[in-house]
Amino acid sequence: MIGRLQRGFHHGPLALLLLVPALVVLLQATADLPLVGDADSAPFTHVAPYYIEHGHEETGAPNFVTAVLADYRGYDTFGELTVIFTAGVACLLIVAGADDRPPPREEEEA
């Protein structure tokens, strides 16, 4: 590992070549998003009224939050839980592997 640190990381121009176009695309996509709390945005005008009107009868859930998270967005919620679980396992593996020490050297006879 010390050898890698001494040599340095000389991929700056390549990283910039890849990251700058990605930044431009993300900024362009962000410009098209509605303002936060905009009452005329699609979630407020189409999705939320449908959930409120049909949520209990279609799902049988006791409240709207449970209806949305467990029934309407069940696959999305399951995917998010899978990502969080995978990240937790990866962190545990990294922490467990951090304790790997080289075997002790035998003392040299002088």
Domain that holds residue 89: 38-98
pLDDT band of residue 101 (cuts 50, 70, 90) is low
- Indicate whether 20 belongs to any domain: no
Residue 91: the pLDDT is: 93
Is 48 domain-assigned?
yes
Instruction: Look at the chain and report how many structural domains it folds into.
Output: 1
pLDDT tens digit sequence for 3-39:
444 455 566 788 889 999 999 999 999 998 888 888 8
Q: Give CA 51 to chain center in angstroms.
A: 26
pLDDT for 47 equals 85
Grade residue 42 by pLDDT with cuts at 50, 70 and 90: confident
Cβ pair 72, 51 in contact under 8 A: yes
Residue 98: pLDDT over 80:
no
pTM of the model: 0.46
Would 46 be classed as within a structural domain?
Answer: yes
